[in-house]
Amino acid sequence: MIVVMTTLERAEAAERAMSQELDRVVVKSVLFTSGEQDPTKPVPRPPDRGKLYMMGPDPRLPRMPEKPTLLDFFKYRFAPANHLLQSARLAQKSGASEKIILACLLHDIAIAGFIRSDHGYWGAQLLEPYVDEEVSWAIRYHQALRFFADESAGYRYPDMYVKLFGPDYKPEPYIERAYLDARQHKWYMTARLICVNDLYSFDPNVQVRLEEFTDIVGRNFRQPKEGLGFDGSPTAHMWRTIITPTKYL
Ligand SMILES: [Fe+2]
Ligand SMILES: [Fe+2]
């Protein structure tokens, strides 16, 4: 008998094989599978066969140092981060301040290593305890500003968005409200400059090294001595979740 597997069945079989190789059972967070699986139905569980559940570092992921720095997150969780590095380089070349360069370097870290949906808000929240308020504010608002041109600042609506979302796409009302609020704000230009340096048409051959920004990060990011995730800040748990995203509890 020939058994034809659907793509989903093949993915599930591969996943079962993978979790059999691991000596711990991994149950994915609902957020990881929501959409592929119906979140109103019970979460399917891999067979545990008496194995213990994952309660620490996932062996499939690069191990993080005990007291991780922001640059460790770039190396082990956000790599290759070309988009971020190239944005920061572009800002630097235009003579932007260190605050702006840092904001460009960090503007999409939520996409690079955490959650894509509403990435500006997640990224800003993650960073808030560690950066100047203006930097996190700008990162939060760049998400909305990206959808609205400001020719006087040298920012056009991205052609890429027409390709990605179609010519008729309209941002949701909360995004439009955020844009209108930002326009009135004293830090409007900071968020706008993230957009100006936020290009998709980078030369893929240009390699920017993370180390080029070590000093700017050192001067502008309050690295906790206990390591990100372990300093008791209001967002420490978010950094820990990036370190161990498959922990059972
Ligand atoms: Fe973004
Ligand atoms: Fe971006």
pLDDT tens figures, 66-114: 999 999 999 999 998 999 999 999 999 999 999 999 999 999 999 999 9
Spacing of C-alpha 170 from chain mean position: 23
Please report the pLDDT score of residue 1 as a whole number: 45
Taking the C-alpha atoms of residue 5 and residue 17, their distance in angstroms, rounded to an integer, is 15
Name the residue among 238, 221, 236, 17 with its Cα closest to residue 102: 221
**How many Å lie between the centroid of ligand 2 and the Cα of residue 119?**
10
Q: Does residue 22 have a pLDDT over 50?
A: yes
Return the ∠ at Cα 244 (arms to 73 and 136), rounded to 5°: 45
Q: Give ion ligand 1 contacts, CB < 5 A.
A: 108
Whether the model clears a pTM of 0.85, i.e. scores above it, the answer is: yes
The more confidently predicted of residues 147 and 28 is 147
- Taking the centre of ligand 1 as the mean of its atom positions, its distance from the CA of residue 119, in whole angstroms, is 7
Ligand 2: distance of its center to the CA of 101 in Å? Answer: 13
The average pLDDT across 167-175 equals 98
Do 37 and 192 meet the contact criterion of CB atoms below 8 Å apart? Answer: no
Residue 242 CA to ligand 1 center (angstroms) comes to 19
Return the higher-pLDDT residue of 8 and 164: 164
Distance (angstroms) between ligand 2 centre and the Cα of 206 equals 17
Q: To the nearest whole number, what is the mean pLDDT of the chain?
A: 92
Q: How confident is the model at residue 43 (pLDDT cuts 50, 70, 90)?
A: confident
